[in-house]
Chain A
Amino acid sequence: MAGDPPVAVAIDRGAGLERGFAWLAATDHKKTAAKIAVASLFFFGLSGLLALTMRAELAQPGLQFVSDHTYDELFTMHGSGMIYLFLTPAALGLGLYLVPLQVGASEIAAPRLALFGFWIYLFGGLTMYSGFLTNNGAGDDSWTATIPLSNSTGTPGVGMDLWVIGVALAVFGSLLIGITILLTILRHRAPGMTMLRMPVFTWTMLATVFMVVASFPVLVVAMGLLLAERHIGGIFTGSTGSIVYQHLFWFYGHPVVYVMFFPFVGAVGEVVATFSRKRFFGYRALVVSLLFFTALSMSVWGHHMFITGAVKNQFYSLTSQLLAVPAGIEYLDLIATMIGGAIVFRAPMLFALGFIVQFLLGGLTGIILASPPLDYHVNGSYFVVAHFHYTLLAGSFFGLLAGVHYWFPKATGAMLRERLAKASFWVLVAGTNLTFFPMFFLGYEGMPRRVANYEPGLGDLNLLSSIGAGVIAIGVLLVLANFVVSLRRRVPAGDNPWGAQTLEWWTTSPPPRDNFTSLPEITSYAPLLDRREAAEEEQERRAEVPV
Chain B
Amino acid sequence: MNGGAKGGGGPLLAWAAIMIALGTMLAIWSEGSATALLFLVGPIPLILVAAWNRARPAPGGPRLLARVSVPVVVIAIGAALAAIGLTGGLWLVLIGGEVALFGLVWLAREMTLERRGVGRR
Contacts and interface: CB of A to CB of B under 8 A. Distances in A.
Interface stretch (A157-165, A462-470, A525-533): A157-165
Contact of A247 (B10, B38, B57, B60): B38
Nearest to A203: B11
Contact of A312 (B7, B33, B60, B65): B33
Given A11-B114, A190-B1, A194-B4, A116 B72 contact: yes
A145 to B, nearest CB: 15
Nearest to B58: A187
Contact of B49 (A106, A186, A292, A513): A186
Contacts of B46: 210, 213-214
A206 B26 CA distance: 25
B74 to A, nearest CB: 9
A9 B29 CA distance: 54
A190 B46 CA distance: 22
Interface string B32-58: 010100110111011001000100011
A291 B19 contact: no
* Most B CB within 10 A of own CB, among A9, A111, A215, A295: A295
Contacts of B11: 195, 206, 291
A213 B45 contact: yes
Interface residues of B, number: 60
A27 B87 contact: no
Contacts of A186: 5, 8-9, 12, 49, 53
B99 interface: no
A320 to B, nearest CB: 12
Nearest to B43: A214
Interface in A1-60: 1, 4, 6-14, 17, 22, 24-28
Contacts of B76: 116, 119-120, 123
Nearest to A248: B38
Contacts of B119: none
B65 A298 contact: no
Interface residues of A, number: 76
B25 interface: yes
Nearest to A1: B3
A185 B49 contact: no
A304 interface: no
* Most A CB within 10 A of own CB, among B26, B42, B60: B42
Contacts of A315: 25-26, 29-30
A315 B33 CA distance: 12
A141 to B, nearest CB: 16
A13 B111 CA distance: 12
Contacts of B39: 298-299
Nearest to A165: B83
Given A106-B1, A187-B53, A120 B8 contact: no
A195 B83 contact: no
A85 interface: no
A27 B64 contact: no
Contacts of B80: 119-120, 123-124, 127, 169
A312 B29 CA distance: 8
B22 interface: yes
B34 to A, nearest CB: 9
Interface in A220-234: 227, 231
A461 interface: no
A115 interface: yes
A319 interface: yes
A151 B68 CA distance: 42
B47 to A, nearest CB: 10
B61 A107 contact: no
A182 interface: yes
A187 B72 contact: no
A436 B25 CA distance: 37
A251 interface: yes
B72 A11 contact: no
B68 A192 contact: no
Given A194-B7, A195-B4, A315-B30, A165 B86 contact: yes
Interface of B: 1-5, 7-12, 14-15, 18-19, 22, 25-26, 29-30, 33, 35, 38-39, 41-43, 45-46, 49, 53, 57-58, 60-70, 72-73, 75-77, 79-80, 83-84, 86-87, 107, 110, 114, 117, 121
Interface of A: 1, 4, 6-14, 17, 22, 24-28, 104-107, 109, 111-112, 115-116, 119-120, 123-124, 127, 158, 161-162, 165, 168-169, 182-183, 185-195, 206, 210, 213-215, 217-218, 227, 231, 247, 251, 291-292, 294-296, 298-299, 302, 311-312, 314-315, 319, 513
5 contacts: A8-B64, A116-B72, A186-B9, A195-B8, A315-B25
Given A9-B63, A25-B73, A115-B73, 10 more contacts: A10-B64, A104-B1, A123-B80, A186-B5, A190-B1, A192-B4, A194-B7, A251-B38, A298-B42, A299-B39
